[in-house]
Protein backbone atom coordinates (compact mmCIF):
# COMPACT_ATOMS: atom_id res chain seq x y z
CA UNK A 1 0.00 0.00 0.00
CA UNK A 2 1.25 3.43 -0.90
CA UNK A 3 1.34 6.22 1.67
CA UNK A 4 -1.49 8.72 1.45
CA UNK A 5 -1.53 12.34 2.53
CA UNK A 6 -3.15 11.20 5.79
CA UNK A 7 0.05 9.39 6.78
CA UNK A 8 1.94 12.64 7.35
CA UNK A 9 1.81 15.34 9.98
CA UNK A 10 1.50 18.39 7.76
CA UNK A 11 1.57 21.11 10.39
CA UNK A 12 3.84 23.95 9.36
CA UNK A 13 5.36 21.77 6.64
CA UNK A 14 6.01 22.93 3.09
CA UNK A 15 3.99 20.54 0.98
CA UNK A 16 4.16 20.33 -2.81
CA UNK A 17 0.93 18.99 -4.28
CA UNK A 18 1.24 17.94 -7.92
CA UNK A 19 -2.25 18.55 -9.32
CA UNK A 20 -3.78 18.03 -12.73
CA UNK A 21 -4.91 21.52 -13.75
CA UNK A 22 -4.70 20.64 -17.44
CA UNK A 23 -8.01 22.37 -18.23
CA UNK A 24 -9.27 23.82 -21.53
CA UNK A 25 -8.64 27.60 -21.59
CA UNK A 26 -9.75 29.95 -24.37
CA UNK A 27 -8.69 33.60 -24.34
CA UNK A 28 -7.89 33.37 -20.65
CA UNK A 29 -11.26 31.82 -19.76
CA UNK A 30 -11.50 28.34 -18.27
CA UNK A 31 -14.05 26.38 -20.31
CA UNK A 32 -14.37 23.40 -17.95
CA UNK A 33 -13.14 23.53 -14.35
CA UNK A 34 -13.90 19.90 -13.43
CA UNK A 35 -10.26 19.00 -12.92
CA UNK A 36 -9.73 21.98 -10.62
CA UNK A 37 -12.74 20.95 -8.54
CA UNK A 38 -11.48 17.36 -8.36
CA UNK A 39 -8.28 18.58 -6.71
CA UNK A 40 -9.98 20.60 -3.95
CA UNK A 41 -10.32 17.76 -1.44
CA UNK A 42 -6.57 17.24 -1.13
CA UNK A 43 -5.77 20.97 -1.08
CA UNK A 44 -8.41 21.64 1.58
CA UNK A 45 -7.14 18.76 3.71
CA UNK A 46 -3.58 20.09 3.53
CA UNK A 47 -4.67 23.59 4.53
CA UNK A 48 -6.89 22.37 7.34
CA UNK A 49 -3.93 20.51 8.76
CA UNK A 50 -1.67 23.55 8.75
CA UNK A 51 0.45 22.93 5.66
CA UNK A 52 2.07 25.58 3.49
CA UNK A 53 0.70 24.48 0.14
CA UNK A 54 2.80 24.75 -3.02
CA UNK A 55 0.89 23.67 -6.14
CA UNK A 56 2.45 22.38 -9.34
CA UNK A 57 0.73 21.34 -12.57
CA UNK A 58 1.31 21.05 -16.29
CA UNK A 59 -0.99 22.61 -18.88
CA UNK A 60 -0.95 21.68 -22.57
CA UNK A 61 2.31 21.17 -24.43
CA UNK A 62 4.97 23.86 -24.65
CA UNK A 63 6.97 23.96 -27.87
CA UNK A 64 7.30 27.68 -28.62
CA UNK A 65 7.27 31.07 -26.91
CA UNK A 66 3.67 31.64 -28.08
CA UNK A 67 2.64 28.45 -26.29
CA UNK A 68 3.81 30.10 -23.06
CA UNK A 69 1.21 32.83 -23.42
CA UNK A 70 -1.50 30.35 -24.29
CA UNK A 71 -0.73 27.93 -21.50
CA UNK A 72 -0.05 30.08 -18.46
CA UNK A 73 -1.66 28.78 -15.26
CA UNK A 74 -2.66 32.29 -14.16
CA UNK A 75 -6.39 31.78 -14.85
CA UNK A 76 -6.26 28.61 -12.75
CA UNK A 77 -4.93 30.57 -9.76
CA UNK A 78 -7.88 32.95 -10.05
CA UNK A 79 -10.47 30.18 -10.29
CA UNK A 80 -8.84 28.28 -7.48
CA UNK A 81 -8.92 31.38 -5.26
CA UNK A 82 -12.69 31.57 -5.82
CA UNK A 83 -13.25 27.89 -5.12
CA UNK A 84 -11.09 27.84 -1.97
CA UNK A 85 -12.26 31.27 -0.82
CA UNK A 86 -8.62 32.01 -0.17
CA UNK A 87 -6.15 34.01 -2.22
CA UNK A 88 -3.92 31.68 -4.19
CA UNK A 89 -0.68 33.49 -4.92
CA UNK A 90 0.48 32.91 -8.49
CA UNK A 91 4.19 33.01 -9.26
CA UNK A 92 4.81 33.27 -13.00
CA UNK A 93 8.07 31.32 -12.73
CA UNK A 94 8.91 27.65 -12.37
CA UNK A 95 12.13 28.31 -10.45
CA UNK A 96 14.43 31.05 -9.20
CA UNK A 97 14.62 33.82 -6.64
CA UNK A 98 11.01 34.92 -6.87
CA UNK A 99 9.79 31.38 -6.25
CA UNK A 100 12.16 30.83 -3.33
CA UNK A 101 11.32 34.16 -1.67
CA UNK A 102 7.57 33.59 -1.99
CA UNK A 103 7.93 30.18 -0.37
CA UNK A 104 10.11 31.48 2.47
CA UNK A 105 7.44 34.07 3.29
CA UNK A 106 4.62 31.51 3.46
CA UNK A 107 2.54 30.99 6.59
CA UNK A 108 0.48 27.96 7.57
CA UNK A 109 -2.55 27.45 5.26
CA UNK A 110 -1.14 29.74 2.56
CA UNK A 111 -1.38 28.51 -1.02
CA UNK A 112 0.86 29.36 -3.94
CA UNK A 113 0.73 28.10 -7.50
CA UNK A 114 3.88 28.05 -9.61
CA UNK A 115 3.83 28.46 -13.38
CA UNK A 116 3.16 25.52 -15.76
CA UNK A 117 5.79 22.82 -15.17
CA UNK A 118 6.08 22.28 -18.94
CA UNK A 119 7.56 25.77 -19.39
CA UNK A 120 10.68 23.79 -18.46
CA UNK A 121 10.29 21.84 -21.72
CA UNK A 122 11.18 24.77 -23.94
CA UNK A 123 14.90 24.30 -23.51
CA UNK A 124 15.73 20.63 -23.41
CA UNK A 125 12.43 19.04 -22.30
CA UNK A 126 13.57 19.17 -18.67
CA UNK A 127 10.11 18.43 -17.25
CA UNK A 128 9.01 15.74 -19.70
CA UNK A 129 12.37 13.94 -19.76
CA UNK A 130 12.68 14.04 -15.97
CA UNK A 131 15.85 16.12 -15.81
CA UNK A 132 17.49 15.03 -12.57
CA UNK A 133 18.54 18.52 -11.47
CA UNK A 134 15.06 19.94 -12.01
CA UNK A 135 13.42 17.24 -9.88
CA UNK A 136 16.01 17.78 -7.18
CA UNK A 137 15.51 21.54 -7.29
CA UNK A 138 11.73 21.35 -6.91
CA UNK A 139 12.16 18.82 -4.11
CA UNK A 140 14.50 21.27 -2.31
CA UNK A 141 11.60 23.73 -2.04
CA UNK A 142 9.50 21.48 0.21
CA UNK A 143 9.40 18.89 3.01
CA UNK A 144 6.74 16.57 1.59
CA UNK A 145 5.51 15.69 -1.92
CA UNK A 146 1.93 14.66 -2.68
CA UNK A 147 0.99 13.32 -6.11
CA UNK A 148 -2.66 13.96 -6.90
CA UNK A 149 -2.37 14.09 -10.71
CA UNK A 150 -3.70 10.77 -11.95
CA UNK A 151 -3.69 11.77 -15.64
CA UNK A 152 0.12 11.83 -15.76
CA UNK A 153 0.84 9.10 -13.23
CA UNK A 154 2.07 6.73 -15.95
CA UNK A 155 4.66 9.31 -17.08
CA UNK A 156 8.23 9.74 -15.95
CA UNK A 157 8.41 13.51 -15.44
CA UNK A 158 10.47 15.79 -13.19
CA UNK A 159 7.33 17.08 -11.42
CA UNK A 160 6.29 13.57 -10.37
CA UNK A 161 9.02 10.89 -10.47
CA UNK A 162 11.77 13.51 -10.11
CA UNK A 163 10.48 15.17 -6.95
CA UNK A 164 9.22 11.95 -5.34
CA UNK A 165 12.67 10.38 -5.73
CA UNK A 166 14.15 13.11 -3.53
CA UNK A 167 11.76 13.74 -0.61
CA UNK A 168 9.09 11.98 1.46
CA UNK A 169 6.06 11.27 -0.69
CA UNK A 170 2.45 10.11 -0.72
CA UNK A 171 -0.62 10.14 -2.95
CA UNK A 172 -3.53 12.56 -2.60
CA UNK A 173 -7.22 11.69 -2.30
CA UNK A 174 -7.90 11.79 -6.04
CA UNK A 175 -5.15 9.32 -6.92
CA UNK A 176 -6.17 7.14 -3.98
CA UNK A 177 -9.77 7.06 -5.23
CA UNK A 178 -8.74 6.22 -8.79
CA UNK A 179 -6.54 3.31 -7.70
CA UNK A 180 -9.19 1.97 -5.35
CA UNK A 181 -11.91 2.02 -8.01
CA UNK A 182 -9.78 0.64 -10.83
CA UNK A 183 -8.47 -2.11 -8.55
CA UNK A 184 -12.04 -3.34 -8.15
CA UNK A 185 -11.96 -4.24 -11.84
CA UNK A 186 -8.90 -6.42 -11.41
CA UNK A 187 -9.19 -7.89 -7.92
CA UNK A 188 -12.33 -9.92 -7.24
CA UNK A 189 -14.84 -7.88 -9.28
CA UNK A 190 -18.45 -8.67 -8.37
CA UNK A 191 -20.01 -10.99 -10.94
CA UNK A 192 -21.51 -10.93 -13.49
CA UNK A 193 -18.78 -8.66 -14.77
CA UNK A 194 -19.36 -7.11 -18.20
CA UNK A 195 -16.79 -5.14 -20.15
CA UNK A 196 -17.85 -2.89 -23.01
CA UNK A 197 -15.13 -1.99 -25.46
CA UNK A 198 -15.35 0.38 -28.38
CA UNK A 199 -13.50 3.36 -29.77
CA UNK A 200 -11.35 3.57 -32.77
CA UNK A 201 -8.62 0.96 -32.64
CA UNK A 202 -8.00 -2.62 -31.61
CA UNK A 203 -4.25 -2.00 -31.70
CA UNK A 204 -4.53 0.64 -28.93
CA UNK A 205 -6.19 -1.88 -26.66
CA UNK A 206 -4.64 -5.28 -27.30
CA UNK A 207 -3.00 -5.46 -23.88
CA UNK A 208 -6.12 -4.19 -22.19
CA UNK A 209 -8.25 -6.89 -23.81
CA UNK A 210 -5.64 -9.54 -23.05
CA UNK A 211 -5.49 -8.62 -19.35
CA UNK A 212 -9.21 -8.13 -18.73
CA UNK A 213 -10.86 -10.88 -20.76
CA UNK A 214 -9.90 -13.60 -18.31
CA UNK A 215 -11.51 -11.64 -15.46
CA UNK A 216 -14.78 -10.70 -17.16
CA UNK A 217 -17.82 -12.84 -17.91
CA UNK A 218 -18.70 -10.98 -21.10
CA UNK A 219 -16.97 -8.62 -23.49
CA UNK A 220 -19.37 -6.53 -25.57
CA UNK A 221 -17.65 -4.98 -28.55
CA UNK A 222 -18.84 -1.93 -30.50
CA UNK A 223 -17.34 1.22 -32.02
CA UNK A 224 -14.74 1.25 -34.75
CA UNK A 225 -12.85 -1.71 -33.33
CA UNK A 226 -15.85 -4.01 -33.81
CA UNK A 227 -15.25 -4.09 -37.55
CA UNK A 228 -11.91 -5.86 -37.37
CA UNK A 229 -13.66 -8.51 -35.22
CA UNK A 230 -16.57 -8.71 -37.70
CA UNK A 231 -14.12 -9.07 -40.57
CA UNK A 232 -12.35 -11.84 -38.65
CA UNK A 233 -15.75 -13.51 -38.21
CA UNK A 234 -16.19 -13.46 -41.98
CA UNK A 235 -18.57 -10.54 -42.57
CA UNK A 236 -18.32 -7.89 -45.24
CA UNK A 237 -17.71 -4.57 -43.48
CA UNK A 238 -17.65 -2.29 -46.54
CA UNK A 239 -15.36 0.71 -45.98
CA UNK A 240 -15.59 0.58 -42.16
CA UNK A 241 -12.52 1.02 -40.01
CA UNK A 242 -10.29 -2.03 -40.42
CA UNK A 243 -6.90 -2.92 -39.02
CA UNK A 244 -5.72 -5.68 -41.32
CA UNK A 245 -2.79 -6.63 -39.12
CA UNK A 246 -5.14 -7.25 -36.19
CA UNK A 247 -7.50 -9.66 -37.96
CA UNK A 248 -5.63 -12.74 -36.81
CA UNK A 249 -5.54 -11.46 -33.19
CA UNK A 250 -9.31 -10.92 -33.31
CA UNK A 251 -9.89 -14.33 -34.91
CA UNK A 252 -7.90 -16.02 -32.15
CA UNK A 253 -9.90 -14.23 -29.43
CA UNK A 254 -13.18 -15.23 -31.07
CA UNK A 255 -11.94 -18.78 -31.21
CA UNK A 256 -10.63 -18.89 -27.62
CA UNK A 257 -13.61 -17.13 -26.03
CA UNK A 258 -16.65 -17.94 -28.19
CA UNK A 259 -19.12 -17.52 -25.31
CA UNK A 260 -17.60 -14.36 -23.84
CA UNK A 261 -17.31 -12.07 -26.84
CA UNK A 262 -20.53 -10.44 -28.04
CA UNK A 263 -20.42 -8.61 -31.38
CA UNK A 264 -22.97 -6.21 -32.93
CA UNK A 265 -25.77 -7.70 -35.02
CA UNK A 266 -26.80 -4.48 -36.76
CA UNK A 267 -24.93 -1.35 -37.77
CA UNK A 268 -25.76 2.23 -38.72
CA UNK A 269 -23.97 3.00 -41.97
CA UNK A 270 -23.43 5.91 -44.36
CA UNK A 271 -21.29 6.40 -47.44
CA UNK A 272 -19.50 9.30 -45.73
CA UNK A 273 -19.76 10.96 -42.32
CA UNK A 274 -21.40 13.96 -44.01
CA UNK A 275 -24.09 11.83 -45.60
CA UNK A 276 -27.61 13.11 -44.95
CA UNK A 277 -29.01 9.59 -45.13
CA UNK A 278 -27.97 6.79 -42.82
CA UNK A 279 -28.96 3.13 -43.12
CA UNK A 280 -29.70 0.43 -40.60
CA UNK A 281 -28.00 -2.76 -41.75
CA UNK A 282 -27.93 -6.28 -40.42
CA UNK A 283 -24.62 -8.09 -40.72
CA UNK A 284 -24.42 -9.48 -44.24
CA UNK A 285 -26.28 -6.48 -45.67
CA UNK A 286 -23.46 -3.92 -45.55
CA UNK A 287 -22.60 -2.74 -49.09
CA UNK A 288 -19.04 -2.27 -50.30
CA UNK A 289 -19.26 1.55 -50.30
CA UNK A 290 -20.78 1.86 -46.80
CA UNK A 291 -19.01 2.80 -43.56
CA UNK A 292 -20.25 1.48 -40.23
CA UNK A 293 -20.45 4.43 -37.85
CA UNK A 294 -22.62 3.28 -34.94
CA UNK A 295 -24.12 0.13 -33.47
CA UNK A 296 -27.77 -0.37 -34.40
CA UNK A 297 -30.88 -0.53 -32.14
CA UNK A 298 -31.04 -4.36 -32.16
CA UNK A 299 -27.46 -4.55 -30.93
CA UNK A 300 -28.35 -2.12 -28.14
CA UNK A 301 -31.13 -4.53 -27.11
CA UNK A 302 -28.74 -7.48 -27.10
CA UNK A 303 -26.15 -5.57 -25.06
CA UNK A 304 -28.89 -4.53 -22.64
CA UNK A 305 -29.63 -8.15 -21.76
CA UNK A 306 -26.07 -8.64 -20.60
CA UNK A 307 -25.89 -5.31 -18.77
CA UNK A 308 -29.21 -5.45 -16.88
CA UNK A 309 -28.10 -8.25 -14.53
CA UNK A 310 -24.47 -7.28 -14.19
CA UNK A 311 -22.81 -6.31 -10.90
CA UNK A 312 -19.65 -4.79 -12.38
CA UNK A 313 -19.42 -2.84 -15.64
CA UNK A 314 -16.29 -1.39 -17.16
CA UNK A 315 -16.73 0.71 -20.28
CA UNK A 316 -13.98 1.99 -22.52
CA UNK A 317 -14.51 3.31 -26.02
CA UNK A 318 -17.59 4.99 -27.57
CA UNK A 319 -19.99 2.77 -29.55
CA UNK A 320 -19.92 5.01 -32.61
CA UNK A 321 -18.72 8.24 -34.14
CA UNK A 322 -20.55 10.06 -31.32
CA UNK A 323 -19.10 13.48 -32.16
CA UNK A 324 -21.75 13.57 -34.90
CA UNK A 325 -25.27 13.45 -33.51
CA UNK A 326 -26.66 10.92 -36.00
CA UNK A 327 -24.03 8.39 -34.94
CA UNK A 328 -24.34 9.06 -31.19
CA UNK A 329 -27.43 6.93 -30.43
CA UNK A 330 -25.55 3.73 -29.58
CA UNK A 331 -23.34 5.50 -27.06
CA UNK A 332 -26.28 7.48 -25.63
CA UNK A 333 -28.49 4.41 -25.25
CA UNK A 334 -25.74 2.51 -23.48
CA UNK A 335 -25.34 5.45 -21.06
CA UNK A 336 -29.04 5.18 -20.29
CA UNK A 337 -28.95 1.41 -19.80
CA UNK A 338 -25.84 1.49 -17.62
CA UNK A 339 -27.21 4.36 -15.53
CA UNK A 340 -30.30 2.26 -14.73
CA UNK A 341 -28.36 -0.76 -13.42
CA UNK A 342 -27.24 -1.34 -9.86
CA UNK A 343 -23.80 -2.35 -11.02
CA UNK A 344 -20.52 -0.80 -10.01
CA UNK A 345 -20.07 1.23 -13.19
CA UNK A 346 -16.60 2.43 -14.09
CA UNK A 347 -15.79 4.51 -17.14
CA UNK A 348 -12.25 4.73 -18.50
CA UNK A 349 -10.69 6.43 -21.51
CA UNK A 350 -10.58 10.12 -22.38
CA UNK A 351 -13.17 10.12 -25.16
CA UNK A 352 -15.57 7.79 -23.36
CA UNK A 353 -15.45 10.00 -20.26
CA UNK A 354 -16.09 13.05 -22.43
CA UNK A 355 -19.06 11.34 -24.14
CA UNK A 356 -20.64 10.25 -20.86
CA UNK A 357 -20.24 13.70 -19.29
CA UNK A 358 -21.46 15.60 -22.39
CA UNK A 359 -24.49 13.34 -22.63
CA UNK A 360 -25.41 14.22 -19.04
CA UNK A 361 -24.66 10.96 -17.22
CA UNK A 362 -21.78 12.10 -15.02
CA UNK A 363 -23.62 11.63 -11.72
CA UNK A 364 -25.13 8.30 -12.71
CA UNK A 365 -21.82 6.46 -12.95
CA UNK A 366 -19.98 5.18 -9.87
CA UNK A 367 -16.62 6.29 -11.17
CA UNK A 368 -15.40 8.16 -14.22
CA UNK A 369 -11.65 7.98 -14.36
CA UNK A 370 -9.92 11.35 -14.75
CA UNK A 371 -6.93 9.75 -16.44
CA UNK A 372 -7.51 8.56 -20.00
CA UNK A 373 -4.22 6.87 -20.86
CA UNK A 374 -3.29 6.34 -17.22
CA UNK A 375 -6.39 4.31 -16.39
CA UNK A 376 -5.90 2.06 -19.41
CA UNK A 377 -2.22 1.52 -18.56
CA UNK A 378 -3.21 0.59 -15.02
CA UNK A 379 -5.87 -1.87 -16.19
CA UNK A 380 -3.54 -3.56 -18.63
CA UNK A 381 -1.23 -4.29 -15.72
CA UNK A 382 1.57 -1.86 -16.58
CA UNK A 383 3.57 -0.29 -13.81
CA UNK A 384 2.83 3.43 -13.40
CA UNK A 385 6.16 5.24 -13.15
CA UNK A 386 5.05 8.05 -10.85
CA UNK A 387 3.13 5.71 -8.54
CA UNK A 388 6.01 3.25 -8.22
CA UNK A 389 8.26 5.90 -6.61
CA UNK A 390 5.75 6.92 -3.92
CA UNK A 391 6.71 5.77 -0.40
CA UNK A 392 5.14 2.53 0.86
CA UNK A 393 3.16 2.51 4.08
CA UNK A 394 5.12 1.21 7.06
P1 LIG B 1 -11.07 6.44 -25.43
O2 LIG B 1 -10.36 7.77 -25.55
O3 LIG B 1 -12.29 6.51 -24.56
O4 LIG B 1 -10.12 5.33 -25.02
P5 LIG B 1 -10.80 5.92 -28.25
O6 LIG B 1 -9.80 7.01 -28.33
O7 LIG B 1 -10.33 4.52 -28.42
O8 LIG B 1 -11.63 6.03 -26.89
O9 LIG B 1 -11.92 6.11 -29.36
C10 LIG B 1 -12.70 7.26 -29.47
C11 LIG B 1 -13.00 7.61 -30.90
O12 LIG B 1 -13.49 6.47 -31.61
C13 LIG B 1 -14.04 8.67 -31.03
O14 LIG B 1 -13.44 9.83 -31.53
C15 LIG B 1 -15.06 8.08 -31.99
O16 LIG B 1 -15.51 8.99 -32.97
C17 LIG B 1 -14.30 6.96 -32.65
N18 LIG B 1 -15.20 5.93 -33.18
C19 LIG B 1 -16.10 5.19 -32.53
N20 LIG B 1 -16.77 4.38 -33.36
C21 LIG B 1 -16.27 4.59 -34.60
C22 LIG B 1 -16.54 4.06 -35.88
N23 LIG B 1 -17.48 3.13 -36.07
N24 LIG B 1 -15.82 4.52 -36.93
C25 LIG B 1 -14.88 5.44 -36.73
N26 LIG B 1 -14.57 6.00 -35.55
C27 LIG B 1 -15.26 5.57 -34.49
MG1 LIG C 1 -9.09 8.56 -27.06
DSSP class of residue 357 equals H
Backbone CA torsion sign across 281, 285, 286, 292: positive
CA separation for the pair 355, 363 (Å, rounded): 13
Looking at residue 394, its pLDDT comes to 85
pLDDT exceeds 90 at position 373: no
CA-to-CA separations, 75 to 81, 82, 162, 210, 357, in angstroms, rounded: 10, 11, 26, 42, 23
Q: Which fold does the domain 184-379 belong to in CATH?
A: Rossmann fold (3.40.50)
Catalytic residue among 198, 350, 371, 372: 350
CA separation for the pair 60, 116 (Å, rounded): 9
pLDDT for 169-210, tens place per residue?
Answer: 999 999 999 999 999 888 889 999 999 999 998 888 888 898
With 0.85 as the threshold, say if the pTM is over it: yes
pLDDT exceeds 90 at position 349: no
Ligand 1 close to Cβ of residue 352 (< 6 A): yes
Q: Of all atoms in ligand 1, which is nearest to the CA of residue 292?
A: 23
CA separation for the pair 241, 128 (Å, rounded): 33
CA separation for the pair 41, 84 (Å, rounded): 10
**Residues with Cβ within 8 Å of residue 151, at least 6 apart in sequence:** 20, 22, 370, 371, 372, 373, 374
Tell me whether the CATH fold assigned to 5-175 matches the one assigned to 184-379.
Answer: yes
Question: DSSP 3-state assignment of 41?
Answer: helix
Cis peptide before 192 (omega within 30 of 0): yes
Ligand 1 close to Cβ of residue 204 (< 6 A): yes
Q: What is the dihedral of CA 272, 278, 284, 290, to 10 degrees?
A: -10
Looking at residue 34, its pLDDT comes to 87
Query: What are the residue ranges spanned by the domains of the chain?
Result: 5-175, 184-379
**Of the residues 229, 314, 318, 365, which should be mutated to test ligand 1's pocket, given the most ligand atoms within 8 Å of the CB?**
318
Looking at residue 207, its pLDDT comes to 85
Element at 243 (helix H, strand E): none
Ligand 1 close to Cβ of residue 323 (< 6 A): yes
- Please say whether the beta carbons of 331 and 298 come within 8 A: no
pLDDT, average across residues 209-218? 91
CA-to-CA separations, 363 to 21, 79, 113, 208, 261, in angstroms, rounded: 21, 23, 30, 26, 29
The yes-or-no answer on residue 201 being catalytic is: yes
CA separation for the pair 223, 295 (Å, rounded): 7
Given the candidates 2.40.40.20, 3.30.230.10, 3.40.50.1260, 3.60.20.10, the CATH classification of the domain at 5-175 is: 3.40.50.1260
pLDDT exceeds 80 at position 328: yes
CA separation for the pair 122, 69 (Å, rounded): 13
Amino acid sequence: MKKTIKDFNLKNKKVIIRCDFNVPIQNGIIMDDNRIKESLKTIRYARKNGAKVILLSHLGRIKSLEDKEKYTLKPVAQRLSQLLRKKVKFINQTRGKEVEEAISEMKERDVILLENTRFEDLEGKKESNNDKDLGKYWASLADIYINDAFGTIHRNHASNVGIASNIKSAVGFLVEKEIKNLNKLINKPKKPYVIILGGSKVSDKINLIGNLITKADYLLIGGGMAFTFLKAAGFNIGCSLLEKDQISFCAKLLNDYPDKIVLPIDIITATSINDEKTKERFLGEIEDDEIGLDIGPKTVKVFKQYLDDSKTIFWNGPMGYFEIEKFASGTKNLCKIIAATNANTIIGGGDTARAVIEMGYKDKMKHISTGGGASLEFLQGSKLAALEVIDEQE
